[in-house]
Structures are given as C-alpha cells and as structure tokens.
Structure 1
Amino acid sequence: MKSYIPLPAPLDTDLLPAAPPGAAPLQPELLSASAEDALRALRLEAASENTTSSYQSALRYWAAWYWLRYGQPIALPLPANVVLQFVTDHGEHLTAQGAQSGLPAEMDAQLVQQGFKGKLGTLAHSTLVHRIAVLSKAHSHQALPNPCHSTEVREAMSHLRKAYARRGKLEQKKAALTRPLLEQLLATCDDSLKGQRDRALLLFAWASGGRRRSEVADARMEWLQTMGPGQYLYDLRLSKTNQSGSARPENFKPVVGVAGAALAQWLDAAGISEGALFRRIFKNGKVGDAALSALSVNNIVKERCALAGVEGDFSAHSLRSGFVTEAGRQNMALADTMAMTGHQSAATVLGYFRAEAPLANKAARLLDDPQTD
C-alpha cells in the first residue's frame, strides 16, 4: 500500500493576520525580485573565490569580444552562430599558409591593450573550453535556450580537440613534485619567518594528502586539532569534493612527522593561535592577519622551484600530483592514498600511480637479459 501525506484542512482566513500595508501579494507562478537577488547572492557565496573570479573574467571577455565583433552590447540568449564564430576566432585551423585563427589582428591587439587578454594569439584549448562552459552556465542560470548545447557547437568543439590532439597541442598536466624534488624546495627554506612559513606550507600541502591551493589558503586554526607535540589532525571541512561542508570521517587529515614539526615551529614563531594558518609577511617582518590568497600559494611554489633550480612546469597542483605519484612509487595502498587525497575516482589516482609504470615493465628490457641455454 502506498503511503501519502494528507492535505491540511482548509484554513480559516478570517483568523490569519492581514498583510502589512504596501506589501502586495505575490504571484505563485512568478519569483519575486527580492527572492531572485537572494538566490543570486547565495550562488555567489557558495562558489569559491577562484571560481567566481574566473567566471567574471570569462564573461567580461565575452562582452568585450562581442562588442568588437558585432558592434553592440552582448545580450543573452546568444544564437549558436555567435558561439561558432567565437570558436573559429580563438581556435586554430589549418590553411595553405599554416595554422590560423579567425580573429582579426587589430581586434586581437585591442583585446590585449584593454586587458581582456594576456597576450596576442589563439587561446589555449583549456581556456577556450572554459569560456564556452561559462557562457553555457550563464544561459542555464537564466533558464534560456542554450546555444552551447547545439549539435553544431558540440561538433565544432569535438573537431577542435581532435585536431589539436593530432598536432600535439593539447595542454599537458603540471609536473609532479615527488619527494626528491620537494626536498630540494625545502632546502631553500631558511630559519627566517618567511622560510619557516614556506617550509610549513609546502609540507602541510604535500604531506596531508596533496592539498589544493585553495584548501591551503583557506586553512584555519579553528579546524586544527593538536594531538601531541608536532602532531595534528586537520579538519578539511570544505573541498572540491565536499562543497556542502558535510561532516565525514575522511575530512580529518593527519599532519605529523616532519610536516607536523614544521607547522608547530611556524605557528610558534608567528604567534598564531587563531585565524588563518598561512599569512602574508610584511617587509618589516610583521606577520599579517589576513590569509594568503590561492594565487600566493601558487607563487610560493614557483618561487621555491626557481630558488632550488628545479626546472619544469610546476605549480601548486604539483604538490598534489607529487604526493599521489610518490604514493604509487612506494606501493601505498590505493584506498589509503585516496583517504588522504579525497579523490572520488580510483581511475584518476591510478593514472598517477601508473605514470612511471612503463619504465618498470620487464618486457621492455628483453634485450638486456642474458641469453641462457
């Protein structure tokens, strides 16, 4: 038997309070302007600072490009042909003269001059994909017909990716900072406040499971539990895979050993007992109150790579990929590794585990083995 919830008995409207003067009744089929504002504010608050910034930057670029291309302000919804024009303007196609894009040189120069583009030329494939995705989300948020879902746009993006793959132009993953490389970076950290902060930051990010740069920037004392001298449990309340802040056992990440000792040393030297774990240090040696930004975390990694003479395409994400790669090298259990990193997909982690597996394949060394009769 199906259960059901009975409707309430009709209300005696005579007993209900009268609506305040000037408050017109709402129409059930329409959302009020104040509710729309509130929902928009909630959406912005729920999004990470990096996500909000990247979306705003992408939409500003769309508006500037549209103005130059069509001579009028952008207005949604856009027809699919506009999106196709954007793809051909910013993606390369082969011609008799070589690879070219459709954006006129003078427009490209204007976009760079006005600060909407970083440099002349085509966009990186990942940037182009991101800008299409942002436009798609802008249409979805307003419940408008979405040109990015059209067959023509989907096919164009598929063809672009395949063409770039054939030319070897797809972006490669950031290089991994495995343990030997990480130790080179740590060797550049002296006993100054900056050196102690950077050492603690690098070890906290790497050893606690390869934290994302936003997670390092957002780390706070209130979420750090002291379990003993130089031993901590960090409650990772918000992450890419737990954006709702749900309480889960796997939220707790150990910060122990050399990482715990470095964190204890930094907190003591900086006099931090509440607020952000990692902060700006001013030229006068004073430790600020505000947290480092995610960009600053990325810059610290790059700066330490330069000081250590570690060459390659490294970023803050290299700490995360380095942790997973090192776990694979040392034959750590997949479940234990995923508990630290917070990855939801075993396939993603196995991709790092297997990154150097071909070099260990015995079948690749058949000619090296001595022949025996």
Structure 2
Amino acid sequence: MTTPAPYLPATSPALSQADQDALTDLYVRGTPANTLRAYERDLIYVTAWKMARFGAALDWPESEATALAFILDHARDLGDAPDEDIARQTAEVLIARGLRKSLACPAPSTLDRRIASWLAFHRMKNLTSPFDTPRVKQARAKARRAAARPPAPKSAHPITRGVLEKLLATCHGSRRDCRDRAILMLGWASGGRRRSEITGLMREDVSLKEFDTSGVAWLSLLETKTTAKGETPRLILKGRAAQALVHWIEVGEITGGPLFRPISKADRVLKRRLTPDAIYQIVKHRLRLAGLPEDFASPHGLRSGFLTQAALDGAPIQAAMRLSLHRSMAQAQKYYDDVDISENPATDLLG
C-alpha cells in the first residue's frame, strides 16, 4: 500500500497491513467528502508555502518557529511590504502558482481553516502540534483580532419568495427546465439546502408513498454540515415543490441512482450526478434569464432566502430551523434580526 496522505493515519508497526488498511478506510469513510477535499487543498497550500519560504518540505512534527512564521506571513497586508520582504516574495510565488489570490491579508477564517487542517494532520499522525503551544496560540489569537473584519454574506441577496418566482418563471418545458425547477423548489422549500446536499440526493432518498393521497414527498438526507450520517431527520416537501420534484422524476425517468443529473445539449438525461458547482451555474443562468445580475445571489441565497421569508411571514424560528437544520440558534437568528429591525417601531421615532 502507498504511504497514506498526511490527513490520513500514519502507518504503525503495531498494526498488521490488513488493520492499517482498515484504519485508513475508516478515516476516509468517517470524514465528510467536503472535509477531505479541504484537507487536500490546505495540504497543497502549506506544503507550497514552506517550500517557497524555507526551501524545505514539511516536517512531522513541524517546528514552533515554522508555525509562527506561517501566522506572521498571513496576518498582514503584504501589498505595502518592500520587494525584499520574504513574506511578500513567498506570497508572490503562491500567487503565480494559483494558490493565493492577492497580497492582501487573508480572511481570519481562511487562516483558521488552514491551521486547523495542519493541526489535524499532526493529530492523525499522533504527533504534538506546534499550534498547541502557548506562544503560537497567543500569536494566532492576536492575528485573528488584528485582521478582524465584518463577515461577508455568502450570497449578495437572499432568494426570497418573490425572487424565486422570477427564477421559476424562466423554467418552461424542456427536461433541463423541469430539472432546474425541481432543484430550485426543493432547495428552497425543504429548508434551504446546501449545494452538496442537493447533489448528494439519490432517487432512493425520496419517498413518494404519500404523494398520491396527500401531495407530500419525504426526503432523507444522508448527512449535512451540521448532522452526522444516520442522524439527519427526514424533511418534508409539499405542494408545488413536491409536484415539481415528481414531475422531474417522471420526465427524467429517474428510477434509481443520482436524483439530479447533467442534461446533454440534445436534452438527454445523463447517468452521472450533478456537481455542486453545477448548482452555482444553474442559479446564475436562471438569474440572467430572469433579468437579474448574475451576481445578484449565489446558491446560498436559497438558504438565506428561506429563513428570511420565514421571518417575513412570521413563522417561528424554531419551526424554520427544523427544516433548515441549523444547529445554532444564534446563526439562524441573524436572518430574523435583519427582518425584525426593519419592522421595529423604534426605527421611526424621528418620524
């Protein structure tokens, strides 16, 4: 067997080859696919950073000095740094390789994620991480505070009911239109599903046993960002959204396998599943057809739009969260707060 990647358990002489293979397989199956992809991207980045900065490969465990240099290099804007600044030179190498966008100070969340991945690699190898030392922890906290910025919304605007209706109006009679209508309505009405959740659905995850009698479809998500496998409650789809989904299943002749699939230029349904990026392209395409700017909203607008509309309609936040599957009340409350403050009578005191 080839040597496992640093985000997988290191080989151990105490384990047989079969046990080592089983442990590696357990890590892969027990780690969400999105997390594995993030680990791979972060590993590529930190490996390239150290080679450009120190001319050396990663060490296991890594030194405290290297960890501090990584934090310092990513805790300031390098646009004004002199050309001979080693941090700037390193950043320019990463930009040339397409691993970094600019010399601007990265968002604290980006730095936090890369450090968290690097720390996780050490834990998987059963090694002490330099990011756990008091001095590095303190430097990381100071860097986070120094680079603090207002959080940018994941979607420029929420796709509220009115906007959604405009997008749906662009879906006419082709198979592509039927598919896109079902995606938009399911993504919105089932609680604001994430892209990976939509594309991860299989035909077997949809129950239509009650559709003929009550017009209801049930969805079984394998897992979400906030729920583990087997712990995600079933979600309900009613009315027009359920009808759109059933129509797509019939038109697309989806008897099993991926629920949402690519469609050829000849309007033929393919067998493979859509990628999460395809949902982004679908939303952008429908925005353009509806006469709205392509950057008016992103797929996350389906999620933020569902919660915003729930607040506008006076639905209790607990009811909305049962569908959105938000784990944090504070996170969901943000959408309600944006609506509540505009309706607050105290905002009209001056007249």
Mapped pair 1:171 → 2:155: no
Match of 2:72 in 1: 88
Alpha-carbon contact 1:210-1:341 (below 8 Å) kept = yes
1:212 maps to 2:194: yes
Query: Deviations along 1:221-278, whole A, 9 cap, x unmatched?
Result: 11111122453111223222332314x6xx2211121111211221221111211111
**8 A contact 1:234–1:253 mirrored in 2:** yes
Corresponding position of 2:217? 232
1:93·1:101 contact (CA, 8 Å) conserved in 2?
no
| Unpaired segments ≥5 residues, structure 1 | 1-27, 369-373
Residue matched to 1:363: 346
Aligned to 2:4: none
Structure 1 distance, partners of 2:272, 2:113, is: 30
Deviations 1:306-365 (A, max 9, x none): 433146563222211211121111111233212212223322222221122221111121
Q: Name 2:106's counterpart in structure 1.
A: 123
Matching residue within 84, 91, 94 for 1:108: 91
Cα distance in 2 for residues equivalent to 1:121 and 1:76: 29
**Does residue 144 of structure 2 align to residue 161 of structure 1?**
yes
| Residues 287 and 134 of structure 1, relative CA distance in 2, 3 Å threshold | same
Scaled by the length of structure 1, what TM-score is found?
Answer: 0.81
Indicate whether 1:243 and 2:228 are aligned.
Answer: yes
Distance 1:190 1:102 in 2: 57
Match of 1:76 among 55, 60, 82: 60
Tell whether the 8 Å contact from 2:51 to 2:57 is kept in structure 1 after alignment.
yes
Contact 1:89 1:101 in 2 (8 A): no
Paired with 2:203 and 2:164, the residues of 1 have a C-alpha distance of 25
- Seen in structure 2, the aligned counterparts of structure 1 residues 267 and 50 have a Cα distance that, compared at 3 Å, is same
Pairwise CA distance, 1:292: 0.7
In structure 1, the residue matched to 2:306 is: 323
What letter corresponds to residue 146 of structure 1 in structure 2? S
Q: Is the 8 A contact 2:159 2:306 kept in 1?
A: yes
Deviation at 1:367, TM superposition (A): 2.2
Which residue does the alignment assign to 1:200? 182
Tell me, in whole angstroms, the C-alpha distance in 2 between the residues paired with 1:330 and 1:94: 47
- Count of aligned pairs: 335
> 307-316 or 261-270, which moves further after superposition?
307-316
Whose strand proportion is higher, 1 or 2? Answer: 1
- The worse-fitting range, judged by mean Cα deviation, of 209-218 and 180-189 is 180-189
* Counterparts in 2 of 1:201 and 1:103: CA distance versus 1, 3 Å: farther
Distance 1:98 1:33, change over 3 A: same
1:335 matches 2:318: yes
| RMSD after superposition | 2.7
Q: Distance in 1 between the 2:257 and 2:26 partners? A: 24
Cα distance in 2 between the residues matched to 1:358 and 1:74: 50
1:292-312 per-position Cα deviation (integer Å, ceiling 9, x unaligned): 112222332233234331465
Aligned residue type for 2:226: T
Shift of 1:206: 0.7
- The one-letter amino acid of 1:48's match is P
Q: Identity of counterpart residues, as a percentage?
A: 33
Q: 1:154 to 1:225 in 2, by over 3 A?
A: same
Structure 1's 305 and 147: CA in aligned 2 closer, same or farther, altered over 3 A? farther
Question: Which letter maps to 1:235?
Answer: S
Once residues 259 and 314 of structure 1 are traced to their aligned partners in structure 2, the CA distance between those partners, rounded to angstroms, is 21
* Residues 78, 105 of structure 2: 8 Å contact kept: no
Q: Does structure 2 conserve the Cα–Cα contact (< 8 Å) formed by 1:125 and 1:171?
A: no
- Does the 8 A contact of 1:83 with 1:147 survive in 2? yes
Q: State whether structure 2 residue 35 is matched by structure 1 residue 54.
A: no
Secondary structure in 2 aligned to 1:279? Answer: coil
Aligned 8 A contact 1:79 1:147 in 2? yes
- Residues 4-23 of structure 1: matches in 2 within 5 Å? none
Task: Name which of 275, 279, 292 aligns with 2:261.
Answer: 279
CA separation of 1:121/1:179 partners in 2, compared to 1, >3 Å: closer, same or farther? same
Answer whether contact 2:105 2:147 (CA < 8 A) is retained: no
Please report the TM-score for the alignment, with normalisation by the length of structure 2: 0.86
108-117 or 207-216: bigger deviation: 108-117
Q: Which has the larger radius of gyration?
A: 1
